Amino acid sequence: MSNQLCALSEVKLGQKALVESFTDYEISLKLLEMGCIPGETVEVIRVAPLGDPIAIAVSGYMLSLRKDEASSIRVRTSF
């Protein structure tokens, strides 16, 4: 992946990304409360066999997200 924005759901296992923005207001409120804020680095830690859910490391802990939730998080993979 290049330095372009993409959805967190597109980030590969083991790859780190920088949170840029959100596309879903309701989900963004929940994510902001859990420390997934713009400027924070996240890393994809685990992906379920069928691709849903995914586990990310953020703010010192692991967070499990459904694929549709991860799709609403815009990230930059090169920073």
Cα–Cα distance between 62 and 13 in angstroms, integer? 14
CATH numeric code, 5-76: 2.30.30.90
The predicted model gives 16-40 an average pLDDT of: 91
Where are the domains positioned within the chain?
Answer: 5-76
pTM of the model: 0.86
Cα–Cα distance between 48 and 20 in angstroms, integer? 24
Is it the case that residue 7 has pLDDT exceeding 70?
yes
Contacts with 54 (C-beta within 8 Å, 6 or more apart), sequence order: 8, 9, 44, 46, 47, 48, 64, 65, 67, 70
Q: How many helices (H) and strands (E) does the chain have?
A: 2, 6
